[in-house]
A and B are shown apart, each in its own frame.
Chain A
Amino acid sequence: MASVLDVQSLQVSYSSREVRPRPVLSGVSFDLRPGEILGVLGESGSGKSTLAASVLRLLPPNGHIGGGAVLFEGKNLFQANSEHLRQIRGARISLIFQEPSLALHPTIRVGEQVRQVLAAHQSGAKSALNEKTREICAQLFPQDSDRILRSYPHQLSGGQRQRVLIAQAIACNPAIVIADEPTAALDPVTQMEVLAIFRSLRETLGLAMIFITHNPALLSDFADRILVLYAGQVVEWGPAHAVLRSPKHPYTKALFESLPAISVEYEKSRKNQLPVIPGNSSLSSLPRKGCSFEPRCPLRMDVCTELEPALVNLGESRLVSCFKYKD
């Protein structure tokens, strides 16, 4: 099946006052299939938010795309002119941010904020746009969409605000929605509601989605495939159920083990120390050569300090970058 988005060896770095630019993404490649939910898993600093921003070339001024390509609808977005990009952003590919209270304008009614997205991309009479706005919001607020449309963001709960952002994101019928930690600020019940909305939108609109999170548990029963990022590189990629059930890369394994579990014998392990990944992935603690996870890896070998592992194909479309595995 042809992919809707093809990201090829994406390289991004941030310049700073210090001497050398800081690499954030080094050669990230993946593709997104139509109607697929791709979960991107990584800790802070792994480059997952940069990945979201660079697909639409929305990096901050000190961000620099060093190489690679993003192919969308047959065109490389890295070579597109600004008018072409404007037509794509928010209309064909839209972004949903983490903090719903910051992403909405505080003194404009939310209905108007959804309408503005439509107005930016579609011509038409005001009444037609208003009608369309109501239609979109009715999908997300089946109960009282008219009241919500007339509200200001501060009058809404976190979950309602997140739904408004989703309404903005789907307003123009995009092919792809990129959601960067969209449920991090929500409580678990609301979080599940938002995930259910995403699931049903995928069914009704055939959306493909990149769902960025640091919590692997959120992706189970939700994502189709999972891409695990560590220090700006893909360390593991595969079907969600396979990655979640039997992680292959030592980082993914250690990450899953560090989550507390509630099982039948949970009472025995309660208040025990959790297994942790020692150290951190800050730039100063990354090795200059070899595998970037090597300093924290419980399974390190001699070769890991010398060479960078390439992605190994384990079959059943599973990829892992670790010397423990061979093609």
Chain B
Amino acid sequence: MEPILKVENLVKRYAKRNLVGPPQEFLALDGVSFAVFSRSTLAIVGESGSGKSTLASCIACLELPTSGNLWFEGKNLAQSPESELRNIRPQIQLIFPDPASSLHPGWSILDIVAEPLILQHKLGRKERELRACSLLERVGLSAEIAARSASTLSGGQRQRLAIARALTLDPKILILDEALSALDCSTQAQIANLLLELQSFLGMTFLFITHDLTMAAHLADEIAVMSAGRIVELGPSAEVLRNPSHEATRQLIAAVPQLPRSSWPAIQQ
């Protein structure tokens, strides 16, 4: 089976300008390669500054990689013209960490969910509203609240709304960049369940970017560990947890806070 997304030797360099002196180069991604198969979840974990979010922006075509290839459905996104990327972007959607700042506080919930359809010139007004309402129901929000503004929602409801908006254009890949970290534990469980449900119903592929190794282990089929712009370990979730081969992975595992009930040490050996 062909993977839905194949990343080959991806490099992203940023120029870091100082007030004086020549600009310095900063290597955010240093030759990243991996493949994701359709309907599966790849978790990308690593400490802050390891390049997780840069990788997300590159895959979502929000940033152009400095070099390397990004294969999605037979096309190399790293070398596609802007006109083509415009058609690709709806298929790879991104969900941001903080639902409070990624949703317009003054807009109605309906407008927020319907906006992608307007931008892509799809459907008439009536159909748009119908589609928006069915998406709200899909993510567990009642269509009755569609007229309210996003600022009246709780954190968990907002993240549901952000997910509904990302689903509007039927994406094939959903990139969840720390999508659960700003939520309470009990809300995290609710949203995690929603994600699992969506994956089995809609057959979506998830890239789950997080520093919460426990949630990564629960949701993902495979875990990739990033450190300093590189993937230092990649494998099936259970395998990575049981036999971590890289120091960065071991550090992350050691730092996982855990309730006394879980028998995590058994896995660490």
Interface residues of A, Cβ cutoff 8 Å to B: 43-45, 157-158, 186-192, 214-218, 220, 241, 244-245, 254-256, 258-264, 266-267, 269-277, 280, 282
Contact A45 B154 (CB under 8 A): yes
Q: In whole Å, how far is B6's beta carbon from the nearest beta carbon of chain A?
A: 23
Contact B255 A188 (CB under 8 A): yes
CA distance in complex: A244, B48 (Å): 29
Q: In whole Å, how far is B117's beta carbon from the nearest beta carbon of chain A?
A: 29
**B230 / chain A contacts, CB cutoff of 8 Å:** none
Contact B214 A220 (CB under 8 A): no
Contact A274 B267 (CB under 8 A): no
Contact B262 A262 (CB under 8 A): yes
Is the CB of B256 closer than 8 A to any CB of chain A? yes
Is the CB of B34 closer than 8 A to any CB of chain A? no
What is the total number of residues of chain B having a CB less than 8 Å from a CB of chain A? 45
Is the CB of B112 closer than 8 A to any CB of chain A? no
Question: Of the 9-residue stretches B75-83, B85-93, B184-192, which lies at the interface with chain A?
Answer: B184-192
Contact B47 A190 (CB under 8 A): yes
Q: A44 touches which one: B184, B260, B263 (CB < 8 A)?
A: B184
Contact A271 B154 (CB under 8 A): no
**Cβ contacts A to B, 14 pairs, < 8 Å:** A43-B187, A44-B155, A158-B48, A217-B256, A259-B214, A260-B215, A261-B258, A261-B262, A262-B241, A263-B267, A264-B267, A267-B238, A276-B190, A280-B154
**B186 / chain A contacts, CB cutoff of 8 Å:** 43, 254-255, 258, 276-277
CA distance in complex: A272, B192 (Å): 10
CA distance in complex: A273, B192 (Å): 8
Is the CB of B218 closer than 8 A to any CB of chain A? yes
Residues of chain B in range 31-56 having any CB-CB distance to chain A below 8 Å: 46-49
**B211 / chain A contacts, CB cutoff of 8 Å:** 187-188
**B27 / chain A contacts, CB cutoff of 8 Å:** none
Q: In whole Å, how far is A160's beta carbon from the nearest beta carbon of chain B?
A: 12
**A274 / chain B contacts, CB cutoff of 8 Å:** 189, 192-193, 218
Contact A259 B185 (CB under 8 A): yes
Contact A215 B185 (CB under 8 A): yes
